[in-house]
Chains A and B, each alone.
Chain A
């Protein structure tokens, strides 16, 4: 399990490093940095740039501020001297699963199209319209690794019951197969496109213990109890205000001694995560990656007793007592 945890953490760190390099590339390519050498009025930078999609340009400037490339007062903005070091250790490199690099390249290209118009047909980040692209993302080796980690933490085996919140198109197969044929896997997702791909696979494999539901996890009310509940890369699409409601729903649906397994790049553990978030915002539902503290605060506001175990930098296991 330790190797899986390291793989997740090292790959997330590498993703963020690549995202930082990519936002630096954008700044050079679109001459944003050139314009920020001397102090400028913020509005002037927005208006004189060739980028037509001004909200996206504003997001990019905000990201530069968050990362420390640019400083901003109320009305003025200027580039700072910025230094960024990437350390390649032999150990880190051995954990890298490079197939996500192509996805990051695609997102970089899509950002260019989005600079022209957010409705550009070459942007493939919509969960329904572009469920095929999302399915390819979810099929990456990195994603399979975190599903293996979930299986290992939850000790998933036949006869167990699993509720997967924000299941996407691949988990129903990879996680679902572990609990069948006598257990039950319930996958919930708000995207009919993703579910359509998952359903065709489930049907072909005849996994009749896998049930898929098109629901919004903010409003769903589970009727049954489960041994394990999974939330992997889903909380970033929820407004902060919904976090308590979702945690309450999950804790309510968990058996005593059951486990809620959360996999996320918790923002306090990854200081430059806003660079990665900039590209993920091409999906209109994306808000921001959650913090561990916000999740624990929400759990504390529920009426349930629990114990939290942190595993590495990206996994929280909540045990219902």
Chain B
């Protein structure tokens, strides 16, 4: 499974997206809802929604975690839940092993 390095580098530069991914990685394969993610990553739900799916003009939908294929949405009884995809899990594992490299070289 090829992972675009630009995707990993872009996530590495975005603290909120990184925190969301790490939280979803920690609870994988479980899913959770938006307000819970916002509470754990200590951010506003609208910011978290922006990072997950994009939000109006403020966030670019193309670089949202769902558009990048890192997070998948599960709909149940009219509610939306979020879970790390298999690809997202691999990206987080790569990101973790590149942390010290990125600190020194990027």
On A, residues with C-beta under 8 Å from B are 99, 102-103, 106, 122, 124, 128-133, 135-136, 192-193, 196-197, 199-201, 204
Q: CB < 8 Å: which of A106, A122, A131 contacts B101?
A: A131
Bound Cα distance from A103 to B104, whole angstroms? 25
A132-B9, A196-B104, A204-B97 given. 20 additional CB < 8 A pairs? Answer: A99-B1, A103-B2, A128-B105, A129-B105, A130-B5, A132-B5, A132-B8, A132-B94, A132-B98, A133-B5, A135-B94, A135-B98, A193-B101, A196-B105, A197-B98, A197-B101, A199-B100, A200-B98, A200-B100, A201-B97
> Which residues on the A side are within 8 Å of B3 (C-beta)?
136
Q: Which residue of B lies closest to A129 (CB)?
A: B105
**Cβ-Cβ contact count across A and B, 8 Å cutoff:** 45
B98 touches A136 (CB 8 A): no
A131 touches B105 (CB 8 A): yes
Q: Which residue of B lies closest to A99 (CB)?
A: B2
Task: Indicate with 1 or 0, residue by residue over B78-106, a CB within 8 angstroms of chain A CB atoms.
Answer: 00000000000000001001111110110
Q: List 9 A-B contacts (CB under 8 A).
A: A128-B105, A130-B5, A132-B8, A132-B98, A136-B94, A192-B104, A196-B101, A197-B98, A200-B97
Q: Which residue of B lies closest to A134 (CB)?
A: B5
> Which residues on the A side are within 8 Å of B100 (C-beta)?
196, 199-200
User: A140 → chain B, closest Cβ, in Å?
Assistant: 8
> What's the tally of chain B residues with a CB closer than 8 Å to chain A?
16
Task: Pick the 4 closest A-B CB pairs, nearest first.
Answer: A102-B2, A196-B101, A133-B5, A200-B100
Chain B CB count within 10 A is highest, among A132, A192, A201, for: A132
> Which residues on the B side are within 8 Å of A128 (C-beta)?
105
> Which residues on the B side are within 8 Å of A99 (C-beta)?
1-2
> Which residues on the A side are within 8 Å of B2 (C-beta)?
99, 102-103, 106, 136
The answer to whether A197 and B97 touch (CB under 8 A), given A129-B105, A131-B105, A132-B9, is: yes
> Which residues on the B side are within 8 Å of A199 (C-beta)?
100
Bound Cα distance from A196 to B98, whole angstroms? 8
Bound Cα distance from A132 to B1, whole angstroms? 14
Q: CB < 8 Å: which of A124, A192, A200 contacts B99?
A: A200
> Which residues on the B side are within 8 Å of A122 (C-beta)?
6
Q: CB < 8 Å: which of B5, B101, B102, B104 contacts A136?
A: B5
User: A113 → chain B, closest Cβ, in Å?
Assistant: 12
> Which residues on the A side are within 8 Å of B5 (C-beta)?
124, 130, 132-133, 136
Q: Which residue of B lies closest to A136 (CB)?
A: B3
B105 touches A193 (CB 8 A): yes
User: A193 → chain B, closest Cβ, in Å?
Assistant: 5
Bound Cα distance from A122 to B6, whole angstroms? 9
Chain B CB count within 10 A is highest, among A122, A124, A193, A197, for: A197
Chain B CB count within 10 A is highest, among A103, A128, A133, for: A133
Bound Cα distance from A106 to B5, whole angstroms? 11
Bound Cα distance from A129 to B6, whole angstroms? 13
Bound Cα distance from A193 to B98, whole angstroms? 10
Bound Cα distance from A285 to B100, whole angstroms? 24
User: A50 → chain B, closest Cβ, in Å?
Assistant: 26
Bound Cα distance from A124 to B98, whole angstroms? 15
Bound Cα distance from A124 to B8, whole angstroms? 13
> Which residues on the A side are within 8 Å of B9 (C-beta)?
132
Bound Cα distance from A103 to B9, whole angstroms? 17
> Which residues on the A side are within 8 Å of B1 (C-beta)?
99
> Which residues on the B side are within 8 Å of A201 (C-beta)?
97
